[in-house]
Structure 1
Amino acid sequence: MKKIFPILLVLTSLVFGENQSQLRLHVLFTNEINGAIHQVPARFMNPEYPPMLTGGAGAYHYVKTIREEQSGPVLLLDGGNFFQGSPLGTHDGGKTIIRWMNWMKYDALVPGVFDFILGINSLSSTALTADFPFLGANIMDDISGEQPAFVKPYILKKYEDITVGIIGLTTPNIVDEILPKNIQGLSFQSPLEVVDHWVKAVKNDGADIVIILTNLGLPYDREDRFDEFAEQVNNVEAEDLKSEELNALVLAHYAHGVDIIVTGGVSKGYDTPWIDPDTHTLVVQNYGNITGIGHIELLIDTKTKSLSGYEYPTDRGMMITLLKDDAPADPVMADSIANWVKNVTSSFKPTIPDIDKANHESAPIFEYPYDNFEIPVLGNEKSLDIMTWNLEWFPAAGDTTIEYVSEVLHDLNLDIIGLQEIKNMGWFGKLMDLIPEYGFVMSQQSSFMHQAILYRKSLISVIDYHEPFAMDDYFYAGRPPLLVNFAFNDGKSSKPITVVNLHLKCCGDGLYRRQRSLEWLHDYLIEYMDVGHDDIIVLGDLNDQLDDDPIIQSFYPFLDDPQHFYFVTEEIHLDPAQASYPTWPSFLDHIIIGKGFFDDHKQSGSIQTVQIDDYVGSWELYESTMSDHLPVLWSITYK
């Protein structure tokens, strides 16, 4: 039935035709804009010779053209995650992106997970600058028990004799994905528990057509995921579904009385809508990063006041890729966006970090609560100890992972720790609550898996941080480098040091991307050295081995420049006992030092893979609760 139903809808639209009893409603939709309204190369089409995407200026031209040239009203909606992912978005909490959305004349937005990344106060302040409402019927203020002031549960739009109700339902997974302090005071109800209530409410308020605007997401493999859901649906009540199993497919199955769901939450666009075989609810989703704009034409029978069909704007379907031929850039909008980008990125020019701007934090006195293992102390007060650790899909085992990883980090007693593959920032916040001797800087621009750098508050302070190449991060697989400038105080004086945390692309076209990404990073760090700042450390999961043939690895920009950089992991990478990825014995996690540390390393430096599996009793326990990577530790003694 789900294959037949789309055909029936389109055939129905042909029967009605363009006549007085039919309203054609153009629904245009975006999601996962991620602050990327600037023009960027479409490297996903051709990494070496990419065509240019016209971005927000192309979207503006397309929407303006539809409004001017097409019959029927236009409804423009966004499925959330509108500003995180680009410095253009995060530098002012999304206000620049809202300024663009105001010019676009959006009708509504539902906040997504990463719209809360800078906190409730920031998001509510940004919402005040919007000329359109933020919708979130399932976002609740813990004190009032109502929606917070910056969202509405739904809106009504009147088109001739047809009233369209638009309900906002965001994902409850926000509590796992966002640091707890940034959503303190809010609760997020399950959409499945409240959808019937709000559909009834909006219909009682006069809605003929019901649209849900959500951030639940259509999965990449929607057919397979629905089949998996269908197998269990008869045995599991809706309220018993785990939050990670909840997506827009599931919502559509329970959304009786809903005509169409416009969703964000996943950057995968579909040319055709998903149609639930039982409720017949349509579900649409656009590609992310404003690489395109979604467009579906709803055909509404004005006599029965019901959806009679739908059509596409092109033979290709709903997705309009914002290439120059399809969506040329509006010149005025393009100039405005280019100026915004210039103003934001001008501050990223490498300079010597100013230690007078360091933000000093006090280290609390506390009693650590766990003692499961005999973890040795590897750091000491006379050395600078820096470690990199891929935490593999953190937290792999929920609360157990939090407990074990916190114990390892507390007991090792190190100074700086670069972490990769943090899936859930909410859980990461729980980890940091257990080790308050450390502060942290977390990536703000990553689209898949986050990086963080921990630092010991008693010795180290943050000067500033940013994520180079976040404006064009294809080669970094949506995980631009996290660069933090620290002030390191050895008790006698302070000096600036720069730490760069990387998690490079593996598999598929990963080699080409890793090669380009390290070329870019090398040249960027050389600019720091050119102005006199040499105390640089690059660490992370680089997904290549030093002993690989140069043709099939990515390290040559740094290996071919021994005057400026040195792989300290070169000293242990051939020792099988030191493999950082033991499951397939290999050395993928590395530390590179800049020339400012050459003498210190020569005199007192040491490098080792930390055998945590031995400390906790077995590889099986370690891999199932913490990671499949072992951390790598570099130490130097103070002068």
Structure 2
Amino acid sequence: MRYIKKLTLLLMLTIFLLFSCGTNHKLTPPENVNILEFGTESTLEVVTWNLKTFPVNNNTVQTISQIIPQFKVDIIACQEVMDQNAFYQLASAIPQYEALVSNATSSYRLAYLYNKETVQVNEVYPIFVGESNPFPRPPYVLDFNYKGLNFICINNHLKALGDDYIDESDAWDEEVRRRLACQKLDQYITEHFPDSRVIVVGDMNDQIAEPPSTNVFQVFLDKPDEYYFADYPIALNPSYDNVSYPHYSPPSHLDHILITNELFDAFAQADSICRVIKVEEYMGSWSTYSSIISDHRPLGVRLYFSR
């Protein structure tokens, strides 16, 4: 009888410990977690998304209009907008969002979607217009305020293709053009925004983690006190699950987010992160996603500010 009482007491103590300790640390996420949700109320989110000759088909606008509100982000920098009217139609279908489209090119336009409830747009304009060698699509600058702080976002779509070799004898070599574009962006930021919070985003069409001899981003990598690629951990360990362009062989990470040192502290906060948003999982498969929306995943950065 005494043994049974001891056993009962031990069992009750075990149950008490199981239910009273660690209740705030769930080992598995709840089933209702939204796989599209990226933003929070206390962070600034900037997403870059190549929309692959937007709109891909007649279902594109409606599908994206249902997806973007679930991101809960402040700014989306888009590339490859072919039909600007359809892009404005997209914005009008999404509560709280407005569109900005660059007219520096007649196709493959750069554009923004922004949450007008959290973002105050001060100015938007293209740069390096007419310099088609480094910039086949002139970068699109967005000057904006968020929670009383000023930011500069520079949206890019650099020259595509190439052979992973910088041909110094050919000014029109794809890698030479991308390298020159990065050098010019560095000069522009240094001259115009030396103390600003700058976020450089876009489809850069090249890898970050390459040897210096073939790395078109070396001008940024050589200045670790001034610049940091928020997605650099992805570039160092690319896999199908974490890159922005997964269906290339091998999976490639071509979309990037570069921040200046004015944002280092914000990115170091616990709530800050940079990762892709796997929209294809929400849509059921990659084939469905790529046939309606894009062959690139959106890549986002989340920055926490104490004020």
Q: If the length of structure 2 is used for normalisation, what is the TM-score? A: 0.80
Aligned partner (choices 157, 171, 182) of residue 503 of structure 1: 157
Q: How do 1:385-424 and structure 2 match up within 5 A? A: 385-398=45-58, 400-424=59-83
User: 1-side partners of 2:223 and 2:107: how far apart?
Assistant: 31
Residue ranges of structure 2 left out of the alignment (5+ in a row): 1-33, 163-172
Residue 598 in 1 paired to residue 264 in 2?
Answer: yes
Please report how far the alpha carbon of residue 472 of structure 1 lies from its aligned counterpart in structure 2 after TM superposition: 2.5
Residue 555 of structure 1 and its aligned partner are, at CA, apart by 0.5
Where in structure 2 are the equivalents of 1:559-574 lying within 5 Å? 559-573=221-235, 574=237
Q: What do residues 118-153 of structure 1 show as CA deviations (whole Å, max 9, x unaligned)?
A: xxxxxxxxxxxxxxxxxxxxxxxxxxxxxxxxxxxx
Render the CA deviation track for 1:198-246: whole Å, top value 9, x for unaligned: xxxxxxxxxxxxxxxxxxxxxxxxxxxxxxxxxxxxxxxxxxxxxxxxx
Partner of 1:60: none
Task: Quote the offset at 1:474 in angstroms.
Answer: 2.7
Matched, 1:455 2:109: no
**How many residue pairs align between the two structures?**
258
- Paired residue type of 1:575: P
Q: What SS does the aligned partner of 2:92 have?
A: helix
Asked if the contact 1:465–1:482 (Cα under 8 Å) also holds between the matched residues in 2, the reply is: yes
Higher relative contact order (CA 8 A, sep 6+): 2
Q: CA deviation at 1:439?
A: 1.9
SS across alignment from 1:474:
coil
Q: Equivalents in 1 of 2:257, 2:217: separation in Å?
A: 12
2:294 paired residue number: 627
Q: Cα deviation per residue 1:274-325 (whole Å; 9 max; x = unaligned)?
A: xxxxxxxxxxxxxxxxxxxxxxxxxxxxxxxxxxxxxxxxxxxxxxxxxxxx
Residue type of the alignment partner of 1:547: A
Rounded to whole Å, the distance in 1 between the matches of 2:111 and 2:269 is: 29
Tell me whether 1:379 sits opposite 2:36 in the alignment: no
Partners of 1:420 and 1:376 in 2: CA distance:
20
State the Cα distance separating 1:473 from its structure 2 match: 3.1
Give 1:375 deviation, angstroms.
5.3
Contact kept in structure 2, 1:488 and 1:495, CA below 8 Å? yes
User: Any residues of structure 2 matched to 1:439-478 within 5 Å, and which?
Assistant: 439-477=98-136
Is this contact kept in 2: 1:375–1:408, CA < 8 A? no
List aligned pairs for 1:123-134, cutoff 5 A. Answer: none
Task: Please list, as runs of the form range in 1=range in 2, the aligned pairs for 1:489-568 lying within 5 A after superposition.
Answer: 489=147, 494-507=148-161, 509-530=173-194, 532-533=195-196, 535-568=197-230
**After superposition, what is the alpha-carbon deviation per residue over 1:245-286, rounded to whole angstroms, capped at 9, x for unaligned?**
xxxxxxxxxxxxxxxxxxxxxxxxxxxxxxxxxxxxxxxxxx
Q: What's the Cα RMSD here? A: 1.5
CA distance in 2, matches of 1:432, 1:597: 28
Contact 2:48/2:76 (<8 A) preserved: yes
Equivalent residue letter for 1:550: P
The CA deviation at 1:527 is 1.4
- Change over 3 Å in CA distance of 1:431–1:375 after alignment to 2: farther
Whether the 8 Å contact between 1:601 and 1:636 is mirrored in structure 2 is yes
> Conserved in 1, the CA contact under 8 Å of 2:229 and 2:259?
yes
Equivalent residue letter for 1:428: F
Quick check: 2:135–2:158 contact (8 Å CA) kept in 1?
A: yes
Name the CA distance, whole Å, in 1 between partners of 2:129 and 2:95: 29
Tell me whether 1:636 sits opposite 2:303 in the alignment: yes
- How far is 1:436 from its partner? 3.7
Do 1:488 and 1:497's aligned partners in 2 also have CA atoms closer than 8 Å? yes
Which consecutive segments of 4 or more residues in structure 1 shift more than 6 A? none
Alpha-carbon distance in structure 2 between the residues aligned to 1:616 and 1:465 = 33
Structure 1 residue 542: Cα displacement: 0.2
Q: 1:434 maps to which residue?
A: 93
**How far 1:376 moved relative to its partner?**
3.5
What is the Cα deviation at residue 591 of structure 1? Answer: 0.3
Alpha-carbon distance in structure 2 between the residues aligned to 1:595 and 1:382: 21
2-side partners of 1:596 and 1:412: how far apart? 25
Measured in 2, the distance between the counterparts of 1:375 and 1:429 equals 26
Distance 2:36 2:86 in 1: 25
Query: Aligned to 2:268, what secondary structure does the other structure show?
Result: helix
Of 127, 138, 151, the match for 1:480: 138
Deviation at 1:447, TM superposition (A): 4.0
Write the mapping of 1:583-594 to structure 2, written as runs, cut at 5 A. Answer: 583-584=247-248, 585-594=251-260
Identical aligned residues as a percent: 33
CA contact (8 A) 1:391 1:629 kept: yes
- The farther-off stretch of 556-565 and 586-595 is 556-565
Q: Contact 2:38–2:277 (CA<8 Å) still a contact in 1?
A: no
* Counterpart Cα distance in 1 of 2:193 and 2:52: 33
